[in-house]
Amino acid sequence: MSYFKLIMEKLKGRLSNVTCPVCHETSNQLTTKISQNLVLICPHCRALFVIQKE
């Protein structure tokens, strides 16, 4: 397995696809931030939002 593939798989495990509640665009955010209920920034509209886990 190449280093590149290893890095990509590590990144995939740490990023989560979330939908912005303001503009409804999706973006990749750190899973750790989401699980800690930290404020995320939408890269599309710059809105600040928190993902509530169900």
The two structure tokens encoding residue 2? 């190449």
Which of 26, 20, 23, 24 minimizes the C-alpha distance to 49?
A: 20
Q: Footprint of Zn ion on residues 25-44 (CB under 5 A)? A: 42, 44
What does the CA dihedral 44, 40, 26, 31 come to, rounded to 10 degrees? Answer: 150
Measured from the CB atom, is 8 or 21 closer to Zn ion?
A: 21
> Count residues contacting Zn ion (CB under 5 A)?
7
Residue selected from 11, 22, 30, 50 as contacting Zn ion according to rule CB under 5 A: 22
The residues that touch Zn ion, with contacts defined as CB under 5 A, are 20, 22-23, 42, 44-45, 47
